[in-house]
């Protein structure tokens, strides 16, 4: 990748429907619903229940039932995520003592890392938190969503060497994610 390339990271709420006019490359979440863009499927969005290792031990969370009465953490745009999680697993939906909502997945992971409750975190985006021991899976369960992350750019930008180089580099870096 070129050292002369400027990179600006701008996070937006999930399901951004358009490629920003000033962006060369975007990472979008959805179902390849951008026919005007050149897209590359990166990986499927999955969720896992996670918390800090000390929280799991202190709260003795050892079954799906043990989530009842816990503080559950969820994304603001996915308020029904715990119900969907339970339905996909075929278990009763947990009845929380408290529900904490955040508007970014990184804040959800940080809240869980700080021992504030049990979160549904996006996998594989949260993999570093698990690798460094900040988070632990509450259960082995992993639920899949219908959404995928896509790398996207305008078709006419494909010929630009800096867009091609960045696209190639990102695809190479993310080829083993999932």
Q: What is the pLDDT of residue 13?
A: 54
Q: What is the pLDDT of residue 6?
A: 61
Q: What is the pLDDT of residue 154?
A: 92
Q: Going by C-beta distance under 8 Å and a sequence separation of 6 or more, which residues neighbour residue 2?
A: 162, 165
List average pLDDT for each run of 10 residues in the chain, which is 178 residues long.
Answer: 58 60 85 90 92 95 94 90 94 95 92 97 89 95 89 92 92 82
Domains of the chain: 46-144 (3.40.190.10)
CA distance 58 to 64: 16
């Amino acid at each position: 990748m070129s050292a002369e390339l400027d990179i600006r990271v701008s996070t937006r709420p999930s399901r951004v429907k358009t490629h920003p006019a000033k962006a060369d490359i975007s990472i979008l979440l959805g179902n390849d619903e951008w026919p005007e863009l050149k897209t590359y499927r990166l990986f499927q969005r999955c969720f896992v229940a996670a918390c800090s290792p000390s929280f799991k031990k202190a709260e003795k969370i050892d079954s799906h039932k043990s989530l009842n009465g816990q503080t559950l953490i969820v994304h603001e745009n996915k308020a029904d995520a715990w119900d969907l999680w339970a339905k996909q697993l075929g278990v009763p939906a947990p009845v929380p003592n408290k529900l904490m909502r955040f508007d970014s997945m990184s804040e959800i992971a940080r809240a869980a890392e700080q021992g504030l409750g049990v979160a549904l975190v996006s996998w594989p985006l949260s993999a570093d938190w698990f690798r460094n021991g900040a988070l632990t899976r509450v259960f082995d369960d992993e639920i899949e969503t219908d959404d995928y992350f896509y790398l996207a750019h305008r078709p006419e930008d494909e010929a630009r060497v800096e867009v091609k180089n960045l696209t190639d580099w990102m695809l190479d870096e993310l080829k083993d994610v999932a």
